[in-house]
Structure 1
Amino acid sequence: MAKPDPEELVRLVEAFPGPSVEADGPDRGGPTEAAEIGRVDELLDGAYGALTRRWYPELRRRAAAHADGDCLRERVLEHVEAVPSFRLSDGPTALTERREALAEAAALTDEVREIAEWYGTLRSRLEGDRASLTRAERLLHDFGYALAHVLFLGASSPGAVVRRLRLAYRSVGVRIDETASEGGIEETTFTCPYRNVAAGRCGERWVCHEKLDRVDDGYVSYLAERGISYQRPRGCAGSEQCRSTVARDGPARWWPKTPPAAVGADP
């Protein structure tokens, strides 16, 4: 599936099935509907309100800026991945009461289901796949994938993987600033020397995040096949540093990534 062009991305974003900021007021649809929406937000621990009132307007802003050439696609994807969420599982363990809450919310308004479907489409289109890359990007991805077979040989845990990953970072001049390990998640904070390469011609971080990170995508593909989730850096906006995480890839479920029907929570 090819990545959307900027204009198509704007259309995808504008197809949001939830309320607009203008419509999402206390009188939206009358007191009955407002009460129902309030109940939905309560059931979903505030995720619904945070998504519609704060996250979505910022998504619209970034999509418009991307269409104008003022925002990297990576920054849009970064925001999409940071969507307010409502957990439905703790790793592989289903959280029954929370799934029941999702079912009740979905029974109150179709928007709960529709937003999940819209989000799934948006995220899959933004992430694309190998076939959506340019020839140069595919070469970088495939180089990273091939290199991963050597770099991560014998590494089967997040701790082992992150040690190899930090070695790879250092080998290309990346400075490791801070490391942390908590709850099975290995985090690395670093400073990349390539963030401003060709910034005057292509924009800040364009070479780093739009092109060179395709090598990291090769790592992501390799590790995902082996049950390891490598969250490579995204736009790293507002900071000179970038962060990446490595963790065991588990079947975590959360709304809106997981629609109600996928966890038996359809009304």
Structure 2
Amino acid sequence: MAGPTPDELRSVVDRFPTPPDAEAFGRADELLDGTYSAIAESWYPELRRLATAYAEGDVLRESVLEHVEAVPSFRISEGATPLTRRREALATAAETLDSVAEVSAWYDDLRTLLADSPDSRSLLERLLHDFGYAAAHVLFLGASSPEQVVRRLRWAYRTVGVRIDSVSSEAGTERTTFTCPYRDVAAGRCGKRWVCHEKLDRVDDGYVTYLRERGIDYQRPRGCAESERCHSSVARDGPSQWWPKTPPSAVEREP
């Protein structure tokens, strides 16, 4: 998946609901622990810079998506456990300021535009995804925990020549940092990291699909844009909720 056109991305980015210069914004932002202002003042300017770099061919879709997924967030659940007071705060913030809900709708449009989907994959990418999905049935056979999955995953990394630089485990998340030998393959013709991130990562997408079906959250390689190293993580897949990904309407409907 090469990604959206620069005009498509810029069109969505430019629709960001800018915080109004009003007292209501201050009240809503305080209820959200300053998340809205953090998005507007630090995260959004970097998004605009990345959108420009994307249009100029300096960064890949993956780099923009990684930044989008790192948006400042206001948690309203701890895994599957609702955080009642924070949910009430989000609902109140949305009642105080209409753009709180608008940011959620905008963020959903942005993620949808950038996220990989079956319909957006080329024939080669679909084949790579399906190969990864099929291989996952063998690779992860009998693995039912993040610890078991990550051991198999690291073995697979090493098998294809990836160098594992460091591993860590924290709060149920298994993290692997590594150096990919394919980052510069065909860089002169297709762009740096194009082969590993826009093509070979489709195999990882097959792993993601397989593991998600079994309650495991595999965050495939990230963090490669500004470093020679990438990282991935494996954890239990839980229905964690946070704004702006979770819209206020999801909590306003609650009794």
Residues 140-166 of structure 1: per-residue CA shift (max 9 Å, x gap):
111111100100011111111000000
Structure 2 stretches lacking a partner, 5+ long: none
Tell me, in whole angstroms, the C-alpha distance in 2 between the residues paired with 1:13 and 1:238. Answer: 22
Distance (Å, rounded) in 2 between the aligned partners of 1:106 and 1:37: 10
Identify which of 237, 240, 247 aligns with 1:252: 240
* 8 A contact 1:72–1:235 mirrored in 2: no
Give the whole-Å Cα distance in 1 for the aligned partners of 2:6 and 2:151.
37
Does residue 224 (structure 1) correspond to residue 216 (structure 2)? The answer is no
1:148 aligns with 2:136: yes
Whether 1:161 and 2:153 are equivalent positions in the alignment is no
Change beyond 3 A, Cα 1:223–1:150: same
- Distance in 2 of aligned mates of 1:152 and 1:8: 38
Report what 1:209 is aligned to: 197
1:58 equivalent in structure 2: 46
Q: Which amino acid aligns with 1:253?
A: Q
Cα drift, residue 204 of structure 1? 1.4
- In 2: Cα distance, 1:194 partner to 1:3 partner: 20
Tell me which of 49, 62, 84 is aligned to 2:72.
84
Runs of 4+ residues deviating >6 angstroms: none
Distance apart, 1:5 and its partner CA: 2.2
* C-alpha separation in 2, matches of 1:173 and 1:265: 50
Assess if the C-alpha contact under 8 Å between 1:209 and 1:235 holds in 2.
no
Give the % identical residues.
68
**Length-normalised TM-score, structure 2:** 0.95
Query: In the alignment, does 2:116 pair up with 1:128?
Result: yes
Q: Structure 1, residues 122-178: CA drift from partner, whole Å, max 9, x if none?
A: 112211311210111111111111100100011111111000000000000001111
**Aligned with residue 262 of structure 1, among 243, 250, 253:** 250
Give matches, 1:168-183, under 5 Å.
168-183=156-171
Determine the structure 2 residue equivalent to 1:241.
229
Q: 1:173 to 1:227 in 2, by over 3 A?
A: same
1:6 aligns with 2:6: yes
Secondary structure of the residue that 1:150 maps to in structure 2?
A: helix
What is the CA–CA distance in structure 1 between the aligned matches of 2:178 and 2:233, rounded to whole Å? 11
C-alpha RMSD over aligned residues: 1.7
In 1, Cα distance between the equivalents of 2:94 and 2:253?
8
Q: Is the 8 A contact 1:99 1:265 kept in 2?
A: no
SS in 2 for 1:244: strand
For 2:182 and 2:34, the matched residues in 1 are separated by: 39
The residue that corresponds to 2:16 in the other structure is 16
Letter in 2 for 1:240: E
Q: What does residue 41 of structure 1 align with? A: 29
Check the 8 A contact 2:91/2:251 in 1, yes or no: no
C-alpha deviations, 1:179-228, integer Å up to 9, x for none? 11111100001111111111222221111111111110110011111111
- The Cα offsets for residues 41-82 of structure 1, whole Å up to 9 and x where unpaired, read as 221112111101111111111112212212101001001100
Q: Which residue of 2 aligns with 1:138?
A: 126
1:235 offset after TM fit, Å? 5.0
Which consecutive unaligned segments of at least 5 residues does structure 1 have?
A: none
From 102, 105, 112, the equivalent of 2:100 is 112
Q: How many residues align?
A: 254
Deviations along 1:12-45, whole A, 9 cap, x unmatched? 11111224xxxx7xxx3xxxx1x32222222111
C-alpha separation between the residues in 2 aligned to 1:4 and 1:109?
Answer: 31
Whichever residue aligns with residue 202 of structure 1, its letter is: C
Cα separation, partners in 2 of 1:137 and 1:6, compared to 1, 3 Å: same
What is the TM-score of this pair, normalised by structure 1?
A: 0.91
Distance in 2, Cα, partners of 1:263 & 1:219: 32
